[in-house]
Amino acid sequence: MADPGIECLQVIHSMLGIDESWMERRSRGFAWIGHRLRQEVEASPTFDSLDTEVSGVTFSTTIATGVTADTEKVHAVLAELNSHAICCAYVYDVQVRTIRAVCIGYVHSDVLAWRARSLAVFAMIQLCLAESEADWIADITGGRVSVGSHPISGVRDMPDEMLSVLDGLIAIEGGGLSKFADASEFEAMADTVRQMNAATLGGSVSGICFEFPYGSETSLVRFQTQVRHRRAGAGLQMSLSLPMQASPTDLAAMAASLNQREAAAECMAGLYGAWCVSPPVAGGGDTLSYRAFLPNILYRPGRAQQEFYSLARRAHWVNQLLNPGVPEIDTWEFVRERLKVLGLSAHGENALEPGSDALESY
């Protein structure tokens, strides 16, 4: 039987167009230097998941080493950067004082044809971001840029042409409207929710919102097509917000801890975004959120639906992690009671749009 991890690596290697003189091959992966930073790509041995052979593909780029700033400051810096997450998370390892960009995707034979190409784009974006932000990150955290050296070719002076793709081809693709603005696909996601302990009031071309159990309340998943990324332009903004309010310092520390757990593949939902501190969805103080962004170049029919399953898994995982032993609430009953307080109905003319304050109130 073919190994999906190895096949995925072959597609990624081909799409990156790597100059062999800057690459090091490994048994289940490779490392290469695009300019200064070394990106490592590795496929895990296959494992069984619901009777399917799956491999986890991890992209990791060390950005800064020897970080000297206090941990609280580093967490705050990364919490801000991760609020703009696109295809990876910035993760801080306090034990070795190192900051990395990490992305994880899972592949099996049924999705290999399109997901391998998608992961190759993630790899490109990760390295583009890391190279362009490395100096600022190292400077503000009191570290040094992690300049890689090839065992034969040494230090690379001229950047690979691929490093222009984010501000070039990807930004051009994102110059217009979101390709993900498809009401029928969001409504199909709403149909899926009817089989789950989750709630939604439906979607539109601007996106859709879902609520999942979180302790005695609910977490909020949002898909938004009208949010633009500061560098990639149009696409699909995805987020999972928790009904948790604390000091910015505590929230940043929690975000850092969750990103470390995700980078260690604890969640098993694919790591294409990052936990961060974000403004609340409806008034109050800051809150803890997971954010990810898919640029237009990654659009394909059904892609948003795939990401829904990933976020649903993450919502369940974080609830179990942070609220151990707490029985799940009936999500629809919780939503109905809240709407009654607001003087609204969950049906008919009062159905709410994805951006409605009423739906997004905790």
204-232, pLDDT tens digit by residue? Answer: 999 999 999 999 999 999 999 999 999 99
Examine the domain organization and report whether 265 and 245 are in the same domain.
Answer: yes
pLDDT tens sequence across 301-315:
999 999 999 999 999
- Kindly state whether residue 315 falls inside one of the protein's structural domains: yes
Answer whether residue 273 shows pLDDT above 90: yes
Contact 160, 19 (CB under 8 A): yes
Answer whether residue 337 shows pLDDT above 90: no
Answer whether residue 51 shows pLDDT above 70: yes
Examine the domain organization and report whether 203 and 159 are in the same domain.
Answer: no
Examine the domain organization and report whether 89 and 222 are in the same domain.
Answer: no
CATH of the domain at 248: 3.30.1460
Q: Which domain holds residue 294?
A: 183-350
Counting the structural domains of the chain, the total is: 2
- Kindly state whether residue 362 falls inside one of the protein's structural domains: no
Q: What is the band of 152 on the pLDDT scale with cuts at 50, 70, 90? A: very high
Examine the domain organization and report whether 188 and 166 are in the same domain.
Answer: no
Examine the domain organization and report whether 238 and 125 are in the same domain.
Answer: no
Distance CA 210, CA 2 (A): 37
Using the 3D structure, point to which of 148, 173, 198 is the last residue of a domain.
Answer: 173
Burial class (CB in 10 A: 0-12, 13-18, 19+), 362: buried
Answer whether residue 283 shows pLDDT above 80: no
Examine the domain organization and report whether 338 and 300 are in the same domain.
Answer: yes
Answer whether residue 347 shows pLDDT above 50: no
Q: What is the band of 354 on the pLDDT scale with cuts at 50, 70, 90? A: very low
Using the 3D structure, point to which of 121, 149, 173 is the last residue of a domain.
Answer: 173
CATH of the domain at 139: 3.30.1460.10
Examine the domain organization and report whether 164 and 42 are in the same domain.
Answer: yes
As a whole number of Å, the end-to-end CA separation of the chain is: 49
Using the 3D structure, point to which of 173, 200, 221 is the last residue of a domain.
Answer: 173
Examine the domain organization and report whether 165 and 284 are in the same domain.
Answer: no
Res 316: pLDDT: 96
- Kindly state whether residue 357 falls inside one of the protein's structural domains: no
Contact 262, 247 (CB under 8 A): no
- Kindly state whether residue 39 falls inside one of the protein's structural domains: yes
Examine the domain organization and report whether 331 and 201 are in the same domain.
Answer: yes
- Kindly state whether residue 356 falls inside one of the protein's structural domains: no
Res 115: pLDDT: 94
Examine the domain organization and report whether 233 and 154 are in the same domain.
Answer: no
Answer whether residue 323 shows pLDDT above 70: yes
- Kindly state whether residue 359 falls inside one of the protein's structural domains: no
Distance CA 92, CA 274 (A): 12
Low-confidence winner among 96-100, 119-123, 154-158, 332-336 (lowest mean pLDDT):
332-336
Res 281: pLDDT: 61
The size of the chain, in residues, is 362
Examine the domain organization and report whether 198 and 134 are in the same domain.
Answer: no
Examine the domain organization and report whether 221 and 145 are in the same domain.
Answer: no
pLDDT tens sequence across 3-40:
999 999 999 999 999 999 999 999 999 999 999 999 99
* Residues 160-187: b if buried by 16+ CB within 10 A, e if exposed: bebbebbeeebbebbeeebbbbbeebbe
